[in-house]
Amino acid sequence: MIRRISGKLGRIDDTRALVENGGVSYEVLLPSALAERLKEQAETGADISFETIYYIEAGDKKSSHYPRLVGFDDAFDREFFSLYIQVPGLGVKKALKSLTIPIREIATAIETKDSAQLNRLPGVGARLAEKIIAELHGKTAKFALSRKDEPLARPTAPVHPFAEEATEVLIQLQYKPAEAKQMIERALKENPKTKSAEELISSIFQSRHMSGVEL
């Protein structure tokens, strides 16, 4: 397991950095706020160190698996994230995007069973919020006491709060994520006044039924 990596900072973009060490370049996934700060403050070639989590990402085919590193500039953040991604259905990339409020606020929501607060996080629908509480309640109290008040991720463009929940439903029904996204975007365009995941799923059914697409 790789818990820390140090070297020279190579290329960096909105979600990842290259760390050059011993003639090898390691790609490290980063929370977007950390990546943004490094782009502003750190220069290419500067000494850099990340507290890391090593994991295996499954590819499109069952036989395709890729080793990945996700990095933080603080061991405390890494410890919380290691616990956070133990929740079934909360993968590394989704988890990284969801950290748009400080860790202490996420932990507080878990410990107070405030599912509505968790439901507001990008990629976390009502069902996943309940799973997070069920899995982590009683395990995050120390993180709720943190004085750090900066979120690790920057909010992306606003989306309908129920779109992620509808996406989860479609994926459970064996649609690919890209297919689910396309169906949801089309349904929202056709029915912009949609107010819930249930209405959205119904709109998708009606659209595909009327067009003769096999469901």
Report the pLDDT value the prediction gives residue 27, as an integer from 0 to 100.
95
Residues in the chain: 215
Report the pLDDT value the prediction gives residue 59, as an integer from 0 to 100.
63
Report CA Rg, the chain. 19
The count of other CB atoms within 10 Å of the CB of residue 139 is 13
Torsion of CA 125, 94, 13, 24, to 10 degrees: 180
CA-based angle 33:98:77, to the nearest 5?
Answer: 60
In DSSP notation, 87-123 reads STT--HHHHHHH--S-HHHHHHHHHTT-HHHHHTSTT
Report the pLDDT value the prediction gives residue 213, as an integer from 0 to 100.
55
The pTM is what?
A: 0.71
d(CA 77, CA 117): 20
Report the pLDDT value the prediction gives residue 159, as an integer from 0 to 100.
57
User: Within the chain, which residues score under 50 in pLDDT?
Assistant: 158, 215
